[in-house]
Structure formats: structure tokens, C-alpha cells
Amino acid sequence: MDGNLFLNGFIYLVAAALAAPLGRRLGVGAVLGYLIIGAIIGPSAFSLVGENREEVMHFAEFGVVLMLFVIGLEIDLSRLWKMRGPILGLGGLQVLLTTLVLAAASLLLKVDWREALAMGMILALSSTAIVMQNLRERGISDTSSGTQSFAVLLFQDIAVIPMIALLPLLAFLPVTSSDGHGGHGHTLIESIPDWSRGFVVVGAILIVVVIGRFVLSPWLRWVASLKVPEALTSTTLALVVGIALLMNEVGLSPALGTFVAGVMLASSEFRHELESDIDPFKSLLLAVFFIAVGAGIDFGLIASQPFTIGMMVVGLIGLKAAILYGLATWFKMAFDQRLLFAAALAQGGEFAFVLGGFAVGQGVIGEELAAQMIAAVALSMALAPPLLILVQKVILPRFGTTETDGEVRSPDVENDKVKVLLAGFGRFGHPMGRLLRSAGCMPTVLERDSDHVDLLRRIGLKCYYGDATRLHLLKAAGAEDAKILILAIDDEDESIGIIETCRKHFPHLKIFARACSRDHAYRLHEAGVRFFVEQLGTSLDCAIAVLEELGHESGHAKDAARRFKIHEMEAICDAMPHRNDEKEFMGMAQRNLEELDSLLLNAPLPIGGQTKKE
């Protein structure tokens, strides 16, 4: 048994190590990579991990718990209160409408009404782990579709509580599990009278709130004073595990409990340290979770019932996407954000594995129907990453946004006959656009977040919705008449793709580009583009302020920064041809450091009118 445990652990770790870089290399994201590798090593394919996938799944679900704790750390109570509208309104309507529609669809297939209602509730939930990971990987977690998706996911996690309470009331089949809990053992709440269970649940939540609010900060402060890093890490893990156990004992979602604890600690001075301690465990367990989901896809069942399972998958994704799109329209989200919102949440969720087993154990859903449902959920989760990629990379570039009246139209780019085009109006492009406008050189701005476009227009800035990777949009914006193109987007591959398009179709354009990293700067230099390293300016401004605080004269500090910047840009250009030769590259890096030291030491900075000496 121990040998099998270590062997399975080794296989899962190797699979995780291979899946993430493979998925990102193929451009489909790490999540889909994990699901594919899981399917390959699972019992239905090469059967490398044996038949203990359910045990691994129970362990890996802790990754979802850790993720909710980290998400809670990133949200303070004031932000949560501001989100009450989307959480209760959009989230509540999504769960209610999806439950009713999916239950009605199940009734049409001659499923018993109690099974239909239970399936509707279970399938209304989306995958918090997959959605949050996808939104981050696709760079849309901060858009309106991303924030609204998070609000819906949060309500879904809360909705698990009443679902657990309601499912036993729908029981009509013989109980197949002796513990009545899907094999998870008896819990505290089962051993107390029904009338007192509500008080126990409320009391457990209050315990988490009180401990998180008043006890944990002093305790963590004392642990931190010990100067033993592993003590704080073990305390954090013990905290999360303890809360998860408490929530499980009272029949609540462990993920919800840890989320509440995270929110309570969001204003703590230890927030960032707790997050950094938890993150490695969270990332690894989430990887194992996704691999276990992939391994759980029963290809034998799918092969024996391809039409039934296929229709369940199509029906689940199609109906959920339609409901989500309709709600997004009602809540006045822009067209592109509606599509992203619907695509992000259209799959089933990880709680389907938990609630499905619970429903079977309680005699609510038959085993055969539950197996079909779980297979459909697993396939929908596997299809979630490519569906979002399809919407973002293929569908959205061919469609436009909406104005406040909700009418769909094509990208609204106009040729203003200006000299400058600016692609991207985020943290890099925004100040640049404002400065150029103030200097009388207002550029034509292309931004593909339509809600951001509407906001910028309301404050008086001229900005158009459009994806600069599309040739016809560049033409519509006036690339044939403009003199300069500024690339301020943060996707390195898209940046290089736009440059290649412009070199082919608009060779007269002079291109200035944001370099998101040193490697990106090498690629831009190789493409013959004038680039600007994103973090260089602000970091040098900070260094100047530090030198002035230390007593250096302002003019000399600024001159040192100027000389450093010139040297840094020259060093990037010089090192570019050797970046694939590690030995030569490292040697050049060392020589550049020595040259820089010599450059600045030969022109020492005066302190208070005197020359600085060592």
C-alpha cells in the first residue's frame, strides 16, 4: 500500500510538472494541460494511477479550499459590501434560473422530478478553480466579466449550504451508502436534533468570524516574533485545515469557511505573508485536482453511451451559456463582456463530484444517472479552457461592442487622420495617451475592453473599441495614413504579431513598443522596434528619490539615473545576439555590471556639495 501511495504520488507530480509547460506552450493554458494529462494517465486510458482516483480527489479538493482562502485574503470587507449587488442579484438569479431550466430539461427526458431538481441544483454550480485560473491566465480577471464571474462564483459557494440541507428532503431511492454521506463518514451535525442544527451552523460561522477578526492577528504576531518561518507556515496551514474540518462537521462548504477566514484576515499586516506561504501548496494541490478530474473521465461509459453523454454536455454548456448571456444583458454588460462571462461559467463545477456522491448516498439520484452526470460535468470542465480561448481569440475579434442601449454593432474605429495610433490604454498606455493629448497630439486609441472604452469616453478621452491584432481594424483606424504606432499591450506574443502585420502591410509606420520583460525587449529589438522597458522608468524615479534622501544632490542623482538608463538600453541591444548562448550571455552580463560600476564610480555623486568618497 505504501509503495502504491508513493508511486501514485510520483506519477501525479510528474504529470503536473509536464502538463503546465505543455499547456502553456500549446497556448491552451495550464488547466487544459492538467485535464489532458489526467485523462491520459487515468483508469480509462493508460491506467497509470490505478483505481484510487476518488481518494486522490478528496485530497486534491483541499486545493480549492486553499484557493478560496487566498481569494478571501485579497478582498476586504468594504469591497465585499460593494459587491453585494452582483453577488446577491446576478449570482442569485443565475443559480435559481439555471436550476429551474436544467430541471425542466431533465423532466423532458423522463427523469423523476426529484432527481431533476437535484441535478438542476448540482449542475447550476460552475468550477471556481477552473474559472479563476482561466480568467487569470487569459488576463481578464480585472475586466467587468471577470469581476462579475467572481461574484457569481462566490454566491454559488454560498449556495452549497442550502443545497446540502435540501437534498436529503428529495430522497426517494434506497440509500446505497451506510453512512448516508457518500462515504465521507458521519458528521457532528448528524448527531444532534434537527431543530438545533441551524443554531450550530450559525454558531460555526460566528466562531470563524470572531477568531479571524480578534484572535488570529495577535496570535500570528506572536508567531512571527519567534523568527521561525516554518512556524508561520504551519500555523497558516493548521488554520485552514481546522476551519475546513469545522465547516465539514456542521455540513457547510469548507471552501466557504476558509473564504470567510481569508476575508477576516484581509486587513491584517500578515496578509501578503500568509498568501505567499499558502500559494505553493495551493498551486500544487490545484494541479493534482485538475489531473484527478481528467483521470475521472469514464471513457468506457462515454464510449458505451456517446449520444446520451454528448447531449448532456451540449445541453449543460448551451443552456448555462444562454442563461448567463441573458443575465449579463439584463445587467447591462457590454457585448464582448457578455460573451466572456457566459463562456467562463458555462461548465459544471467541482462541487458536482461532492454533491453528486452525497445525493447518491442520500437516495436522491440513482447511481447510473449520477455516473452520466459526473461524466458530463468532467467533459464540460475539460472543454472550459478551449471554449474561453475560442471566444476570446476567434469570436470576439470579429464582433464589436455595445453602447449603453445594448445594440450590437461592429468595432467602432474611425480614421481620424491622426499621426499616432496607440494600441492599449491600460497602466502603460493611459499616461502616455494623456500626455500626447495635452501636447496637442491626441492619438487614435484602440482598446479591446469595451467597458473600459465606455469609461474613458465618459471622462472625455477619445477611445475606440478594437483589437489591434486584426488587420482590417488597423486599416480602419488609419494605419495607412499614420506615422507612428505605439504598442502598449501586455501580451508579448500579440505584440510581436502586430509588429509582423505592420511590417508587411504598413512598412512606413515607426513602431514604439512596451517591453514587458527583458526577453520581450530582445524580441522587439530583433524585430527592429524601438522599445521601452516597462518598469525601468518608475524604478529609476524611486532610486533618484532614495539617493536624494541619502543626501545626494538632485541634479547629480538624476544624471546618474540618466547614465544608467542609457547603459541599460545599450546593454540589452548588445546582449541580444547572444541570448541563446548561456556562457557568452552570462559573461556579458558580468561585464556590463563591472562597466556600470566603473561608469558611476568615475563620476561620484556629491553629497551636500562634497564629493562622495568611500
- 32 close to 385: Cβ distance less than 8 angstroms: yes
Contact of 600 with 562, CB cutoff 8 Å = no
pLDDT confidence tier of residue 581, bands split at 50, 70 and 90: low
What distance in Å separates the CA atoms of residue 573 and residue 575, rounded to the nearest whole number? Answer: 6
Written as one letter, the residue type at 501 is T
Cell numbers for 594, please give them. Answer: 563591472
CA distance linking residue 15 with residue 33, whole number of Å: 9
- Spatial CB neighbours of 438, under 8 Å, sequence gap ≥ 6: none
Strands 510-515 and 606-607: unpaired
How high is the pLDDT of residue 116?
92
Instruction: Kindly state the average pLDDT of the residues 20-36.
Output: 71
DSSP codes, 132-185: HHHHHHTT-TTSHHHHHHHHHHHHHHHHHHHHHHHGGGG--S---STTSSTTS-
The CA distances from residue 298 to 126, 208, 360, in Å, are 20, 38, 18
The identity of residue 437, as a single letter, is: R
| CA proximity to 267, closest of 206, 212, 205 | 212
Averaged pLDDT for residues 107-118: 90
**Residue with the three cell numbers 466557504:** 256
Residues 161-188: what's their mean pLDDT?
Answer: 64
Domains of the chain: 2-398 (1.20.1530.20), 420-611 (3.40.50.720)
Per-residue model confidence as pLDDT tens digits over 233-257: 788 788 888 888 887 777 666 777 7
* CA-based torsion, 541, 543, 549, 555: positive or negative: negative
Query: Tens digits of per-residue pLDDT, 382-396?
Result: 888 888 888 887 887
C-alpha cell at 79: 469591497
Name the pairing type of β-strands 610-611 and 606-607.
antiparallel
C-alpha cell read off for 443: 492619438
Torsion angle, alpha carbons of 364, 369, 163, 190, to 10:
40
Distances (CA, A) of 81 to 13, 221, 251, 295, 376: 40, 27, 26, 39, 35
pLDDT at 184: 45
C-alpha cell recorded at residue 21: 509547460
Statement: residue 612 has pLDDT above 70: no
Q: Work out the angle at residue 413's Cα, subtended by the Cα atoms of residues 410 and 417, and round it to the nearest 5 degrees.
A: 155
- Give the full edge-to-edge strand order of the sheet including 530-533: 464-465, 444-447, 420-423, 484-487, 510-515, 530-533
| Cell 448516508 found at | 180
Rounded distance between C-alpha atoms, residue 547 and residue 607, angstroms = 9
Residue 444: CB partners within 8 Å, gap ≥ 6? 413, 414, 415, 416, 418, 420, 421, 422, 462, 464, 477, 478, 482
**Between 346 and 273, where is the model more confident?**
346
pTM for the full predicted model:
0.60
Reported as a single tens digit per residue, the pLDDT across 479-491 is 888 888 888 887 7
Give tens-digit pLDDT for 495-511: 888 888 898 888 888 88
pLDDT tens digits along 422-465: 888 877 777 777 777 766 777 888 887 766 676 666 666 667 77
**Residue percentage of the chain with pLDDT more than 70:** 74
Bridge partner list, 465 = 447
> Is residue 401's pLDDT more than 50?
no
Largest CA distance in the chain: 91
Q: What pLDDT shows up at residue 614?
A: 40
At 97 the pLDDT is 95
Taking the C-alpha atoms of residue 588 and residue 579, their distance in angstroms, rounded to an integer, is 10
- In Å, how far from its chain's centre is CA 463? 27
Give the three cell numbers for residue 589. Answer: 552580463
